[in-house]
A and B are shown apart, each in its own frame.
Chain A
Amino acid sequence: MLCQECNKRQATLHFTKIVNGEKTEFHICETCARDKGEMIPGTPNGFSIHNLLSGLLEFDPPSGNPLSQSSQTVRCESCGLTYAQFSKLGRFGCSDCYNFFKERLDPMFRRIHGNTVHSGKIPKRSGGMIQHKREVEELKRELHRRIEEENFEEAASLRDRIRELERKIAAD
């Protein structure tokens, strides 16, 4: 999607603003957002991430509001950010938000990155098990190839390594 401001760059910031029940969507690139001081013209008094942020910090916790059952009020139990606030701000409040908003994130990630799953660096310490899991997947693929080649000697040693890794993962 192209930026609605410059029509040149890919839009990377996507906002939805609701004024008097009317929904307006914004899709702009980072450059235009920065240049405009995150102000988007065509809305009353402009529209600023910082204005929204200050509003957010004074946000009252929901009481017995019947609307709080609606899907827009899914809330991160760790930091208190609602999904509606997240989609306005374009920012997560904490890493647990990823979990609480899980169901809704795939379409957004696909729109921004064309993808939903990480395939880069894995941290050494906290990602040790993930590293093992990736290795197991890789070894299983190789095992398949060896069996097809009828190279059973190699296949047996691969199977032992897979078992060993799977024991480590199970013990975690």
Chain B
Amino acid sequence: MSLRKFMEEALSEWMKGNGPDSDIVISSRIRLARNIRQHPFPMLSTNNQSQEVLDKALTVLEDGQLRNLCEFEALKLSEMSELEKKVLVEKHLISPNLADESRNGAVFLSDNEAVSIMVNEEDHLRIQCLYPGLQIQEAWELASRIDDVFESRLNYAFDEQRGYMTSCPTNVGTGIRASVMLHLPALVLTQQINRILSAITQVGLAVRGIYGEGSEAVGNLFQISNQITLGQSEEEIIDNLHKVVKQIIEHERAARERLMQESKTRIADRVYRSFGILSYAMVIDSKEAAQRLSDVRLGIDLGLIRETSANILNELMVMTQPGFLQQYAGAKLTPDERDIRRAEMIRQRMEPAEAAES
């Protein structure tokens, strides 16, 4: 299969790189945790009990109401290969926990992969909507409508005082986790990032680096999400996150402008070097690839690079992960082999002819 075709088929909606503020915001996600009354949470359920939960979720799926919103496919984790699971984790459609630890775990995937409903993860249901760009509100509206369909058929574990009861006390109440993935290269380059991120944690939001080891953010990608789920309404939580993200976007844009005014040559040197390396390297590890991809994406956003499309970062950050590379190769690869394959995939994607086609 050609790389172009493989990539097109493998793209989730959120990786296509459109949506509001998509020069900085990669994706917006809403996750709702829901449980069914009178069934132990997945952590304590027996095989039969988790099967019952899955059967109940499947009856809702088969009922037409959900299909009015999106077309879904149900996938049972036990029937998938290790590689298939890995690819879904890399696309952020399922959690590593569902892939490796669940009993009767399943995922209902919408055809554009904007919705994934995990069954028997830490909670009975985890409804996730993942949109490109800054669309937290849109993601919430869809998640809430899907939630309503499940609630019309299942007896939710809901308490007047505590709200939606979840397995982990950090999710109780609304059960909502709203998160936004941001590309912040200029704030990192101008060394403002730590100050801004520590300010964010003061207002009840959590920050984590994506794809990196520990707190280090590889590829200058950061995920910001709400911490508090009890005592605030979903609208307040989303509004708070949205306002903070808007401010970060302004800071990042200001930092980019300043970089172009004060050190244009240095910035241009950096992005063109990365462009050159990605275009010609024969071997590249994931950490270097992430940093170079971030540079090239910055170069595109600054108007320095014109021959490559902007969604290269979104696409390749996912597709150069181990699971994807092995799926594309159609074989298991050693880490050394992966570094060669990764370089090959990136080189092909960097060819201007492909950008002209798309």
Contact partner of A126 among B40, B156, B174, B228, CB < 8 A? B156
Within the assembled complex, what's the spacing in Å between the Cα atoms of A89 and B148? 31
> Do residues B44 and A119 form an inter-chain contact, with CB atoms below 8 A?
no
- Contact status of A112 and B169, CB under 8 A, knowing A12-B227, A120-B163: yes
A95-B157, A120-B163, A121-B234 in contact; A113/B229 too (CB < 8 A)? yes
CB < 8 Å neighbour of A30 from B152, B163, B169, B206: B206
The A interface is mostly helix, strand or loop, or mixed, namely loop
> Size of chain B's interface in residues, with CB distance under 8 A?
53
Is B165 a contact partner of A10 (Cβ separation < 8 A)? no
A90 vs B164: C-alpha distance in the bound complex, in angstroms? 17
By size class, the interface of chain A is 35 or more
A147 CB within 8 Å of chain B: no
Q: How far is the CB of B222 from chain A (nearest CB, A)?
A: 11
- Whether A9 and B232, one on each chain, are in contact in the complex, defined by CB atoms closer than 8 angstroms, is no
Complexed CA–CA distance, A133 and B162 (Å): 15
Say whether A113 contacts B156, CB under 8 Å: no
Contact between B231 and A6 (Cβ–Cβ < 8 Å)? no
Q: Hey, what's the 0/1 contact readout for A68-112 against B, CB within 8 Å counting as 1?
A: 000000000011110000000111111100100000010011001
B294 at the binding interface (Cβ < 8 Å): no
| Residue from B158, B174, B232 having most chain A Cβ neighbours under 10 A | B158
Cβ-based interface call for A167 (8 A): no
- CB pair B233 A120 closer than 8 Å: yes
User: Is there an interface contact between A90 and B158, defined as CB atoms closer than 8 Å?
Assistant: no
Give Cα A119 to B214, complex, Å: 34
In the complex the two chains form, is A95's CB within 8 Å of B168's CB? Answer: no
Query: A129 CB to closest chain B CB, in angstroms?
Result: 9
Asked if B168 and A93 sit within 8 Å, CB to CB, the answer is no
Is there contact, CB below 8 Å, between A9 and B201? yes
The contact string, 1 if C-beta is below 8 Å from chain B, for chain A 7-49, is: 0111011000000000000000111100100000000000000
Q: Could you tell me the dominant secondary structure of chain B's interface residues?
A: loop
Chain B residues with Cβ under 8 A from A123's Cβ?
151, 156, 158
Chain A: CB-nearest residue to B173: A118
Q: Report how far A114 CA is from B227 CA in the complex, Å.
A: 11
B residues within 8 A CB of A90?
168-169
Measured CA separation A130–B208 after assembly (Å)? 37
Q: Does A117 contact B (CB under 8 A)?
A: yes
In B100-158, the 8 Å CB interface with A consists of 101, 122, 144, 147-148, 151-152, 155-158
Alpha-carbon separation in the docked complex, A82 to B39 (Å): 17
Q: Is B37 an interface residue (CB 8 A)?
A: yes
Q: List 11 A-B contacts (CB under 8 A).
A: A8-B198, A30-B170, A31-B208, A78-B40, A95-B37, A109-B230, A114-B231, A118-B231, A125-B152, A126-B156, A127-B160
- With A118-B161, A118-B162 already in contact, 13 other A-B pairs whose C-beta atoms are closer than 8 Å: A10-B206, A30-B170, A92-B41, A94-B41, A95-B38, A113-B172, A114-B231, A121-B163, A121-B174, A121-B233, A126-B151, A127-B160, A133-B160
Interface, chain A (partner B; CB < 8 A): 6, 8-10, 12-13, 29-32, 35, 50, 53, 57, 78-81, 89-95, 98, 105, 108-109, 112-127, 130, 133
The 9 closest A-B pairs by CB, nearest first: A115-B231, A118-B163, A95-B157, A113-B230, A120-B174, A95-B165, A120-B233, A94-B40, A93-B44
